[in-house]
Amino acid sequence: MNDMTTTTTSTRTTVLDATGVTMRFGGLTAVRSVDLQVSSGEIVGLIGPNGAGKTTFFNCLTGLYVPTEGRVSYKGTVLPPKPHLVTQAGIARTFQNIRLFSNMTVLENVLVGRHTRTKEGLWSALLRGPGFKKAEAASHERAMELLEFIGLQHKADHLARNLPYGEQRKLEIARALASEPGLLLLDEPTAGMNPQETRVTEDLVFAIRDQGIAVLVIEHDMRFIFNLSDRVACLVQGEKLVEGTAEVVQGDERVIAAYLGTPFEGAPGAEEVAEVEAAEADAHSDTSTTGSEGDAK
């Protein structure tokens, strides 16, 4: 992995400010009054057992869901509830399940991520004038820089589907970086990886942080997340249970109880947990259907 130009800042500024974020599906509450701040050049981990509301919270941050209550701001500006506008503002994300364009090349996948940073319109593309050609060349150059950064420049012309699993994960991160974010959200970036691939991913996230980009990571690999993060927040059934350094969170008895499945005061029952998970799944299905209908139009 090669270094990109590093930007250093003497003081950290707040990049993400989520205040009182609540997400309800009907009468069920999947996320309840969660506050979370992330500063520039900081890595924050988000942990919690299955059904804790982590991905739902991510969806609220990125405009896939409109929070029932609360506010999400990026660099002091309240974010619009539209994913493409959130990306334009400066937040990029990856998903639990890889969402690459499998029949496109590695380079083409990264170029897709550049679309929010190009200003050339339809007519410019059709006429292929000097402005379009200049923008196209700049996008190509930047995409190749990102592929070199993740170590895949030699596979630029390979189809994405032919990459090994770990390299597909890295490519998805490169595509997210192509939008030039100030905040990168990673949803279980090491899921399905072997120990060597996990170490490579850890080094990659540190390198991204060293560019001054803030990173918020959901992960179930506790060793990975505690080694990686400056701070860790733990969600349990949609509520933030504790937030602090790795040592503070690891030593919290409520976190241990949540992961061991031991009930603690105020913990919901299994029936309530199942209802929330079902509601989240239904909402995700509705969102996907709406997106497909929009694409068809």
Domain extents for the chain? 11-90+181-266+276-286, 103-177
Distances (CA, A) of 208 to 3, 9, 96: 9, 14, 19
Predicted TM-score (pTM) of the model is 0.80
Record: fold of 11-90+181-266+276-286:
Rossmann fold (3.40.50)
Q: Looking at 164-269, list the stretches that DSSP marks H as alpha helix, in order from N- to C-terminal side.
A: 165-177, 195-209, 222-228, 246-250, 253-260
Output Rg (C-alpha) for the chain, integer angstroms: 20
Q: Are 23 and 68 contacting, i.e. CB atoms less than 8 angstroms apart?
A: yes
At residue 189, the 3 state secondary structure works out as coil
- pLDDT of 293: 47
Give kind and range of the element (H or E) at residue 270. Answer: helix 270-296
The CA distance from 106 to 178, in Å, is 13
pLDDT tens, N- to C-terminus, the chain (297 residues): 555 544 444 477 999 999 999 999 988 899 999 999 999 999 999 999 888 899 999 999 999 999 999 999 999 999 988 898 999 999 999 988 888 998 999 999 999 888 765 655 443 444 455 565 676 788 888 999 999 999 999 999 999 999 999 999 999 999 999 999 999 999 999 988 999 999 999 999 999 999 999 999 999 898 999 999 999 999 998 999 999 999 999 888 888 888 766 555 555 555 555 666 666 666 666 655 544 444 444
User: Which ranges constitute the DSSP H helices of 20-164?
Assistant: 54-61, 83-89, 106-112, 122-127, 130-150
Residue 46 is classified by DSSP as: E
Q: Given this model, what pLDDT does residue 5 score?
A: 45
pLDDT at 261: 64
Beta strand pairing call for 43-47 and 214-218: parallel
Q: Which residues contact 22 (CB under 8 A, 6 or more apart)?
A: 29, 31, 32, 33, 34, 67, 68, 69, 70
- b/e map of 255-267 (b: 16 or more CB within 10 Å)? bebbeeeeeeeeb
DSSP 229: -
Which pLDDT belongs to residue 117? 59
CA distance 217 to 13: 19
Q: How far apart are CA 220 and CA 288, in angstroms?
A: 25
Distance CA 280, CA 276 (A): 6
